[in-house]
A and B are shown apart, each in its own frame.
Chain A
Amino acid sequence: MMAYWKHASIALLLGCVCLSLLENLAGQNRDVDVAVVVHPDTPVSNLGLTEVRKVFLGDRQYWSTNIPVVLLIRAPVARERNVVLKIIYQMSESQFKQYWIAKIFRAESASAPKVVYSNDMANDLVTAIPGAIAFIDARDVRAGAKVLRVDGRLPGEAGYPLR
């Protein structure tokens, strides 16, 4: 009987250690900044958070007269999407969907944001499509990509708002 409890308690302790490790890992993942990446020719390098919101709400649709904004957003359950919904849109998933249906229905926008299924795909498209803007995990941003400062800060800097 005693041996059984000993094994059980060891297994439980191991389980606890694993759980805490996993939680730490998840915590680290949660803390990673999300970079705002734009096409290299986009004529901006710094936006306030409210301006980023305006862009992603579709209230600002042009970078300049000849460069329309092309919104790229990760598919549901991606962490980048959750960060965007929570901090930028301040909406739930269903509110976000309803928002864009209403936006198009009001004739305020001709199309909803394009959905990207991975950070690789986001990197690809943001490099290839003029005017594109995407949120990408800062660790996955490719070298040479144009990363915007948000409120004057780059990912990794103290006070960066998107994480």
Chain B
Amino acid sequence: MSSRLLSLLVFSLATSGLLAQSTPQTQEPEPSVQSLLERIQRLEKRIGELEDHQRGQAAVSAGSSGSAAVDNTKAPQTNAVLEQPASHENAPSTTAVREAERHYPSLQIRGFGDVDFSATDKKGSVSGFNLGQFVLHFASPLSEKVSYFGELSFTAQPAAYEVQVERSIIRYDYNDYFKISFGKYHTPISYWNTAFHHGAWLQTTVSRPEMVRFGGTFIPIHFVGLQAEGNIPSGGLGLGYNVGLGNGRSSILSKAGDSGDANDNRAWVASVFARPARLYGLQFGGAVYRDKLTPQPGRNFEELITSAHLVWTKEHPEFLSEFANVHHRDVLTSNTYNSQAFYIQLAYRLPWQENKWKPYYRFEYIHKPESDPVFLDVSDLVGSTVGVRYDITNYAAFKGEYRNSRIGKDEPRVNGGFFQTAFTF
């Protein structure tokens, strides 16, 4: 008897343990209940409005039979739904349908921000906090086929904030295979440049790789002109393309030709990428960019950039790699210069503590010929970054990283610690 009781006791302890383990799961539905309550409140409000509207209509139609027709013309999109017989048991809820319908324009605003701290052992450097970029993103469908996207950045400068229109795009979608847009873009010559834009929260690391640094000149970050993009019918290979024609770089190489072209020569860019269906998460592709640069009046250089990327966007692991070669040819002397840059970044979202931790490592490299007269601001670079990202919530993260890099030939290595809290709102 005592052995039976003992086994029952052990069993009950095990059961209570299981039940205790399941307790956190029962807490999960809280947000759903909250959202349902909010929805019920909205629906009740809506029903009230509809009842008021119905009462009003009944009163008006009693006085004038013509006003109902006027009401119908005010809401042509919902007529198809309203005309369905109300007695039908499967008749869609008009309130829900009306709420779900697209309204044009339908502006959505999202913001990104970050606050940073840095300290390095570089001679003359000053450690301390700085406010990263404050970014506002606008997306607004203007019709079923036309959409607008905009991105504004506010960057702290010693005297004031610098406001920049980073992107301003109006796009017409013909179908999945052809979408044409006009405006200012991030040049699709680099994966990073078009994947993370100015949203520090979106990228795993504190900073962008040096080859795609904002304000840098290795590749043209921005592009003003027109762009066609879409899918290429390719079955499971999942091919896509981008083709653009624009102003190219301005006389300040880090800037795009927002206010006009620096010379009477258009730049063009073309990229092709693949997202194979059977290897969900994989993307690889290449791009070509051609431009004529006029950094100083009377000095012209042809620029040809070729790049390739291979990424695995899932986080178990995440793998990002890019390579770019920038070829310059002096139109006057026919001298040519080739510069190369690449980075490899590896990260892994750890399965513990609700997947909040994500350690990462990045190696990056830049080489340019010392004699290249275009890349006066570009330095050779060999550097490693190791760090960790901790997602505080679904919309905010802490990042901390250590960097060891050598910038310039025969220069001493620089060590630094960088911390960032990045968020979206």
Q: Which A residues contact B (CB, under 8 angstroms)?
A: 5, 8-9, 12, 15-16, 19, 48, 50-51, 53-54, 59-62, 64-65, 68, 72, 75-78, 90, 92-95, 97-98, 101-102, 104-107, 110-111, 114, 116-117, 120-121, 123-125, 127-129, 142-144
A-B contact pairs, 28 of them (CB 8 A): A12-B11, A12-B12, A50-B280, A53-B277, A59-B231, A60-B231, A65-B175, A75-B32, A75-B35, A77-B31, A77-B32, A93-B394, A94-B394, A97-B395, A98-B202, A101-B424, A102-B195, A104-B137, A105-B110, A107-B139, A107-B169, A107-B171, A110-B141, A110-B147, A111-B108, A114-B100, A124-B97, A129-B101
Q: For the complex, what is the distance from the CA of A78 to the CA of B31, rounded to whole Å?
A: 12
Q: For the complex, what is the distance from the CA of A116 to the CA of B97, rounded to whole Å?
A: 11
Q: For the complex, what is the distance from the CA of A122 to the CA of B142, rounded to whole Å?
A: 25
Contact check, A19 vs B15: say whether CB atoms are below 8 A apart: yes
Known contacts A77-B31, A111-B108; A106 and B197 CB within 8 A of each other: yes
Which of the 9-residue segments B88-96, B218-226, B364-372 touches chain A? B88-96
Interface size of B by CB at 8 A reads 63
Contact check, B277 vs A95: say whether CB atoms are below 8 A apart: no
Q: Give the contacting residue for B93; candidates A12, A72, A121; CB below 8 A.
A: A121
Query: In this complex, what residue of B is CB-closest to A122?
Result: B96
Contact check, B197 vs A105: say whether CB atoms are below 8 A apart: yes
The answer, yes or no, to whether B106 is at the interface (CB within 8 Å) is: yes
Q: Is the interface of B mostly helix, strand, loop or mixed?
A: mixed
Known contacts A9-B5, A93-B394; A124 and B96 CB within 8 A of each other: yes
Interface residues of B in 211-242 (CB under 8 A from A): 231, 236, 238
Interface residues of B in 162-183 (CB under 8 A from A): 167, 169, 171, 173-176, 181
Least CB distance, A20 to chain B, in whole angstroms: 11
Known contacts A12-B11, A101-B202, A104-B108; A62 and B394 CB within 8 A of each other: no
Which B residues are in CB contact (< 8 Å) with A60?
176, 231
The answer, yes or no, to whether B123 is at the interface (CB within 8 Å) is: no
Query: In this complex, what residue of A is CB-closest to B106?
Result: A111
Known contacts A65-B174, A75-B35; A129 and B97 CB within 8 A of each other: yes
Which A residues are in CB contact (< 8 Å) with B39?
117
Least CB distance, B171 to chain A, in whole angstroms: 7
Which B residues are in CB contact (< 8 Å) with A61?
173, 176
Supply 5 further A-B pairs (C-beta < 8 A) apart from A104-B110, A123-B90: A60-B176, A65-B174, A76-B31, A76-B35, A106-B197
Q: For the complex, what is the distance from the CA of A110 to the CA of B140, rounded to whole Å?
A: 6
The answer, yes or no, to whether B199 is at the interface (CB within 8 Å) is: yes
Contact check, A105 vs B174: say whether CB atoms are below 8 A apart: no
Least CB distance, B89 to chain A, in whole angstroms: 9
Q: For the complex, what is the distance from the CA of A144 to the CA of B91, rounded to whole Å?
A: 12
Q: For the complex, what is the distance from the CA of A95 to the CA of B169, rounded to whole Å?
A: 26
Q: Give the contacting residue for B175; candidates A62, A77, A110; CB below 8 A.
A: A62
Least CB distance, B30 to chain A, in whole angstroms: 9
Which A residues are in CB contact (< 8 Å) with B196?
102
Q: For the complex, what is the distance from the CA of A121 to the CA of B410, rounded to whole Å?
A: 67
Least CB distance, A82 to chain B, in whole angstroms: 11
Q: For the complex, what is the distance from the CA of A54 to the CA of B108, rounded to whole Å?
A: 24
Least CB distance, A142 to chain B, in whole angstroms: 5
Q: For the complex, what is the distance from the CA of A19 to the CA of B16, rounded to whole Å?
A: 12
The answer, yes or no, to whether B278 is at the interface (CB within 8 Å) is: yes
Q: For the complex, what is the distance from the CA of A111 to the CA of B5, rounded to whole Å?
A: 61
Q: For the complex, what is the distance from the CA of A144 to the CA of B89, rounded to whole Å?
A: 12
Q: For the complex, what is the distance from the CA of A129 to the CA of B80, rounded to whole Å?
A: 10
Query: In this complex, what residue of B is CB-closest to A131?
Result: B144
The answer, yes or no, to whether B315 is at the interface (CB within 8 Å) is: yes
Q: For the complex, what is the distance from the CA of A159 to the CA of B266, rounded to whole Å?
A: 55
Which B residues are in CB contact (< 8 Å) with A143?
90
Contact check, B169 vs A90: say whether CB atoms are below 8 A apart: no
Contact with A along B296-309 (1 / 0, CB 8 A): 00000000000000
The answer, yes or no, to whether B245 is at the interface (CB within 8 Å) is: no
Which A residues are in CB contact (< 8 Å) with B169?
107
Q: For the complex, what is the distance from the CA of A71 to the CA of B196, rounded to whole Å?
A: 24
Least CB distance, B406 to chain A, in whole angstroms: 33
Q: For the complex, what is the distance from the CA of A104 to the CA of B167, rounded to whole Å?
A: 13
Least CB distance, A14 to chain B, in whole angstroms: 12
Contact check, B314 vs A90: say whether CB atoms are below 8 A apart: yes
Q: Which 5 A-B pairs have the closest CB atoms?
A: A50-B277, A124-B92, A107-B149, A110-B147, A128-B92
Contact check, B15 vs A15: say whether CB atoms are below 8 A apart: yes
Least CB distance, B270 to chain A, in whole angstroms: 18
The answer, yes or no, to whether B28 is at the interface (CB within 8 Å) is: yes
